[in-house]
Chains A and B, each alone.
Chain A
């Protein structure tokens, strides 16, 4: 998504950033990236972000956890069939506790793994156009494309009040 040369603009205001994203979309830009110190709903709306597929990892992890917990308790009880307290070898009520805990454990861990995978973390290389101010109080918009597109992007950034514009 981020291949090729680009141009980055630093914005001090949220509304200016939102307006810039709108303008980029209107002019047909498809390859751009936004850096923000906070996840604002206005930005998510402007970017028309779809719901993250991380939830599929959550579902998969939770189901794996449930199956694992019950399987573990049942299989080990059958492997060592010692009757305690006069209860059946496969006692469902106590095994629910094990199944419940492993559902949460694997669900949580696989959700995190999914986030890392989808978000491209850990990031080992450099992020094009990133500026340390983007984790503090500034918003960044990076547009990628050919020379003509970049000139257009510069014009959009200037019109929307970018504080600083740099080549990437």
Chain B
């Protein structure tokens, strides 16, 4: 399991310096660490977080938005008609609820279709694993800056340490 502080440090090391989002239990440890470092600006909806990140990007920051995968639906239009149309990159740290059909009912549909959904949206994505973490982060940094669009790093339960073991 990756420690939250190691994960946050790795994001900072690739240049991310503006963090916002809406919480999920899988992301609990990461958000606690970001708050500890006074780097996190909480948003009330995922589309708001994405728009705030866009404003920060245009002001010289490298932004990341944290969200549960249900939030991808909420911020879809912002990702398309702001980030993609205006060529504004954003790192999306998305928790994969409903992974392999094991979760509460409200997560099962998005959990099942998410990779295809992101493919359809032409949002590059990769699923973080402890073994490939260094490559995953390197891929994230390169894709994000080269393509100038949102790029998603998907996090399944138990890969990064949460608030509760």
* Bound together: no
